[in-house]
Structure 1
Amino acid sequence: MKAGYKLPEVTFHTRVRDDSIEGPNPFKWEDKTTSDYFKGKRVVLFSLPGAFTPTCSTYQLPGFEKGFADFQAKGIDAIYCMSVNDAFVMNQWAKGQNLENVGVIPDGSGEFTRRMGMLVRKDNLGFGLRSWRYAAIVNDGEIEAWFEEPGLCDNHGEDPYGESSPENLLKYLDAKAAEAAA
């Protein structure tokens, strides 16, 4: 659906560790752009409704974390998880999930998600504006393949999951490799 689409250029307000800062919160603000994350790389980007939520924390994020070596073997340079959450929440979620391979991108204001056409209302769960669940293979800032959960709409009564699973993206990469070898 969005294959061939160039990612929107936005600025993400992140918090990064700075060892020169003492105390319990040794982090500083660092702005990063879409290009900082995606330029010159082939990456997996997946976005989900919220950090610390059940499907995201139990299946999707851990699946990408555990499957990182498989993705690397198929030509993926990095895997990024995005959510309409601030940098503090995303960093604590990454810490709680013991992430070593998947990077988190905070889309606190939802600007990237809105410009991707994936911003939905989740007022029925008390979340407000959030991302619809999707994943993409992104090559140098351009979408190579798109994996969107069915039923995109505001206040959806369910949380569909399957299309954007790590297993589904690996199937795509296997098929792409087989096609190239033929």
Structure 2
Amino acid sequence: MKSGTKLPEVTFHTRVRDASVEGPNPFRWEDKTTADYFAGKRVILFSLPGAFTPTCSTYQLPGFENGHADFKAAGVDEIYCMSVNDSFVMNKWAQDQGLKNVKVIPDGSGEFTRKMGMLVDKDNLGFGMRSWRYAAIINDGIVEAWFEEPGLMDNCPEDPYGFSSPENLMKHLNEVKEPELA
């Protein structure tokens, strides 16, 4: 994926809290499109192999959550976390992580991830098809900057992490901002 690339058009099947739904699971289905998430906004999208996994839960997601105010100050409207997990799993993970700022996007079938060229086989970990770890700054549905972990491959024996870290994206945003001030 390169800067200037338009995001693929996809419909995401999400579950949203609805006070009118009674019972222990007060959610309803709501389809959202690529445009619903990305049109008219400058956002960070980061995608990772799986909800509740170690690197994702310990470093990447908390880093973006805790850095939210700094990203807002750098001109980012929203931060989205995507994984090839269904909406039930993503919502439970968001709850487990105590998210207040980062919003989760379920790519349950992997359609968006496949169209982005980032769907990989992780059978070696018992995961099946999942997302390669990446992050992007998206401006009105167009990739402004791309941060992909090295070694993209099926059944990778490693879980590289660094290029898609919140610290690396903030460094990029600060470097981009500085020339404008000069």
Opposite residue 157 of structure 2, the aligned amino acid is: G
Q: Displacement of 1:181 after TM fit? A: 1.3
Aligned to 1:122: 122
Aligned to 1:131: 131
**Which runs of at least 4 in structure 1 moved beyond 6 Å after TM superposition?**
none
Q: Displacement of 1:179 after TM fit? A: 1.4
Matched, 1:42 2:42: yes
How far, CA to CA, are the matches of 1:179 and 1:121 in structure 2? Answer: 40
Opposite residue 125 of structure 2, the aligned amino acid is: L
Gaps of 5+ in 2: none
Q: Displacement of 1:125 after TM fit? A: 0.1
Aligned to 2:21: 21
SS at match of 1:156: coil
Q: Displacement of 1:2 after TM fit? A: 1.1
Aligned to 1:88: 88
How far, CA to CA, are the matches of 1:43 and 1:179 in structure 2? Answer: 21
**Percent identity for Structure 1 against Structure 2:** 77
Q: Displacement of 1:126 after TM fit? A: 0.2
- 1:79-130 Cα distance to aligned partner (Å, 9 max, x none): 0000000000000000000000000000000000000000000000000000
Gaps of 5+ in 1: none
SS at match of 2:153: coil
Aligned to 1:177: 177
Aligned to 1:56: 56
State the aligned residue count: 182
- 1:16-49 Cα distance to aligned partner (Å, 9 max, x none): 0010011100000000000000000000000000
Opposite residue 50 of structure 2, the aligned amino acid is: G
Opposite residue 39 of structure 1, the aligned amino acid is: A
The 5 A counterparts of 1:136-147 are 136-147=136-147
SS at match of 2:104: strand
TM-score in terms of structure 2 length: 0.99
SS at match of 2:19: coil
Opposite residue 9 of structure 2, the aligned amino acid is: E
Root-mean-square deviation (Å): 0.5
Q: Displacement of 1:78 after TM fit? A: 0.2
How far, CA to CA, are the matches of 2:134 and 2:180 in structure 1? Answer: 25
The 5 A counterparts of 1:161-172 are 161-172=161-172
Q: Displacement of 1:180 after TM fit? A: 1.3
How far, CA to CA, are the matches of 1:179 and 1:114 in structure 2? Answer: 35
